[in-house]
Structure 1
């Protein structure tokens, strides 16, 4: 592309890439940071990003966001996703982005002032509390066990939640509980006496802002206005949220897998074996070619779903297909990068093993691949969809 043909958006992407490579990636520490240190890093990077006009991709321009649509966000989030700190710097790391996406649809004026606006401005943090230990809701939200009952002008919530991303640093939670009308959503401040964060559950991931909390809701009183949206509509709301969340995960993890392959390509063009560079061996070239094919397909699927979302179309079927493919493709690419780098790939001298561990859970989070495959097949057969 010539300089004269570059669009303002192209220039913006180049600026973001420099920011990620020169400011964000050098501050990565993976396992060594405490949550307090991570928050300090997050605030620093957010300030640096805002100072050069890199606000939250989908937040309104009036509050410092970029006001991008979903298709534009795909390109931005792939670049930001080259570092696990990139989405943090742009104030759209999960769960904040999918939470704000669905809150935009549901909040009343009071909830907007107390919850959504501070969330978009980076002044408050959220978490989404739906998943429960067995026999409660996991991949099947119909198994939801948490309850909410009316008590005068209040609601009283009781339940047990776990693997709640970001719970360790959240100021409020979107709690999913069963009411007489059906599954409903509630806004609960985390300093509520009935809201107890029990622990941060350790996982294989080398880093995750806010951890994965285990929560007990015990006689948790909230005002009537804590009800979010309409009672009994919670499963519909969850689908809205998850569709957007899956798409954002796909975007950022494509970026992380792409970075892993870049590191491997650099290695094979400098490491010799059997008298020539590793990159000159056809088998190595084939592994790299397969990785690029997977990333290209993953990128195109994600962008197609984003276009559908921008057009106001239902993406339930297409987002499931994209989520399954991208979750498996990015892990396979990262695994190939580790293999190409040999012992160095499994060491901590490169971030490849950390990237691999970070990508693996995506095949479970936001719906296990097996659950999505079953739903895809069921829709195809029941609706007579053509391939």
Structure 2
């Protein structure tokens, strides 16, 4: 596992660093740059997106044929971390959830016709998208086997009935990927479908209010009452919905972690700047041992998170599903971003609790990290299952040839 990056990737990273610092971060202190839900407003966003496109910093995760730069997961880890130095960063580069994961799964599993119709408009920034899976009780959440939404075949169409909720980005989306039950087969009982916002037979019941700032389009509850989807809009294969989900969610969980590392580092940056200039009782905060212990621990935890993320990215790039590696990264970094924001607020005192810095934004946002794309406890159960299957090989090293050991 050699995590050395190429000069070209480092140059790309540096370009992102400069763009975020000079173009995006200034918007964080401008009230007019925020929409009603705490994210960047459409006007500033579109202007920044045009600049990112002009500088070749757009959709780095996609192939050049689809308008991207063809980065693997390890390259994405390097770049996404820098993008999310700003709370507004990822969406400017078209690398934010849920579009990020949706584009990658469409590129990997969609037909050429599906890519032309459903992927390219998202990749160009013309439309947004949403992935529809989670259901209210007694439906499926972390356990897809509990799914209650059905798609039943009717000639050349599939007809959908059911209810979904906490669907990220739904209110602003035009293109949707829907997972529904298509049979009672315990292994191949789900399928994924593509549909358009204007298709009849479904509606958004409400935008669910949450404690933190929201992605564009919020988190919505949806009702399906006879939505007809042409068979041509079946994504991948009938009964292979779990394959679609696994292809999407593994990398999507990891890209969350990449971005959260950027926010964690920004928290340390804000806290360090304040501790270096703030004095009390004749001593700078930065010179107090208690504060130094806080910074030392965060520095270590961030580096552990970076290594976990890069190990998982390396595994995916070499063809592995990296399920246990992604779960370890997801648990660690989800807890880390919340801790980093909490510690930074504590060091900043009342300033940290105010809106004079983005710390309170990050703190409210961070609590969801331990829930989205699988709660901590679910990922720990996944790790325990791997431990039971692998025993001591859970901690095995990859073996290659010609590696010095002295």
Q: Report the TM-score range of the alignment, normalised by the length of the smaller protein.
A: over 0.9
1:125 corresponds in structure 2 to: 128
Q: How does 1:207-286 map to 2 (within 5 A)?
A: 207-286=214-293
Deviation at 1:82, TM superposition (A): 1.2
Q: 1:68-94: CA deviations, max 9, x gaps? A: 111111110000011232111111110
Deviation at 1:37, TM superposition (A): 7.0
Aligned equivalents of 2:142, 2:45: Cα separation in 1: 31
Contact 1:298–1:322 (CA<8 Å) still a contact in 2? yes
2:403 corresponds in structure 1 to: none
Deviation at 1:118, TM superposition (A): 1.9
Q: How does 1:217-366 map to 2 (within 5 A)?
A: 217-366=224-373
Contact 1:80–1:86 (CA<8 Å) still a contact in 2? yes
Deviation at 1:10, TM superposition (A): 2.4
* Partner SS for 2:254: helix
Contact 2:87–2:358 (CA<8 Å) still a contact in 1? no
1:42 corresponds in structure 2 to: 45
Aligned equivalents of 1:88, 1:209: Cα separation in 2: 9
Aligned equivalents of 1:204, 1:194: Cα separation in 2: 31
Q: Which runs of 5+ in 2 are unaligned?
A: 1-5, 396-406
Deviation at 1:32, TM superposition (A): 4.3
Contact 1:194–1:220 (CA<8 Å) still a contact in 2? yes
Contact 2:61–2:72 (CA<8 Å) still a contact in 1? yes
Contact 2:34–2:40 (CA<8 Å) still a contact in 1? no
* Residues 362 and 175 of structure 1, relative CA distance in 2, 3 Å threshold: same
Contact 1:69–1:310 (CA<8 Å) still a contact in 2? yes
1:116 corresponds in structure 2 to: 119
Deviation at 1:63, TM superposition (A): 4.4
Q: RMSD between aligned alpha carbons?
A: 1.9
2:35 corresponds in structure 1 to: 33
Aligned equivalents of 2:128, 2:107: Cα separation in 1: 15
Deviation at 1:349, TM superposition (A): 1.3
Contact 1:38–1:209 (CA<8 Å) still a contact in 2? no
TM-score, normalization by structure 1: 0.95
For structure 1, which segment, 72-81 or 42-51, has the greater mean C-alpha deviation from structure 2 after superposition? 42-51
How many residues end up aligned between the 2 structures?
A: 383
Deviation at 1:109, TM superposition (A): 2.5
Aligned equivalents of 1:37, 1:255: Cα separation in 2: 17
Deviation at 1:120, TM superposition (A): 1.8
1:3 corresponds in structure 2 to: none
Aligned equivalents of 1:216, 1:201: Cα separation in 2: 14
* Residues 8 and 108 of structure 1, relative CA distance in 2, 3 Å threshold: closer
- Structure 1 residue ranges, 4+ long, deviating more than 6 angstroms after superposition: none
1:15 corresponds in structure 2 to: 15
For structure 1, which segment, 116-125 or 354-363, has the greater mean C-alpha deviation from structure 2 after superposition? 116-125
* Residues 249 and 50 of structure 1, relative CA distance in 2, 3 Å threshold: same
Q: Which runs of 5+ in 1 are unaligned?
A: 1-5
Q: Of 74, 80, 100, which residue of structure 1 is paired with 2:83? A: 80
Aligned equivalents of 1:32, 1:120: Cα separation in 2: 24
* Partner SS for 1:269: helix
1:59 corresponds in structure 2 to: 62
Aligned equivalents of 2:63, 2:394: Cα separation in 1: 39
Aligned equivalents of 1:268, 1:301: Cα separation in 2: 29
Aligned equivalents of 1:224, 1:15: Cα separation in 2: 43
Aligned equivalents of 1:12, 1:233: Cα separation in 2: 37
Q: Of 205, 208, 212, which residue of structure 2 is paired with 1:201? A: 208
Contact 1:168–1:211 (CA<8 Å) still a contact in 2? yes
Contact 1:115–1:124 (CA<8 Å) still a contact in 2? no
Contact 1:196–1:215 (CA<8 Å) still a contact in 2? yes
Contact 1:294–1:333 (CA<8 Å) still a contact in 2? no
* Partner SS for 2:204: strand
* Residues 259 and 363 of structure 1, relative CA distance in 2, 3 Å threshold: same
* Partner SS for 2:178: strand
Q: 1:200-235: CA deviations, max 9, x gaps? A: 111112232221111111111111212111111112
Aligned equivalents of 1:218, 1:40: Cα separation in 2: 35
Contact 1:59–1:66 (CA<8 Å) still a contact in 2? yes
Contact 2:67–2:123 (CA<8 Å) still a contact in 1? no
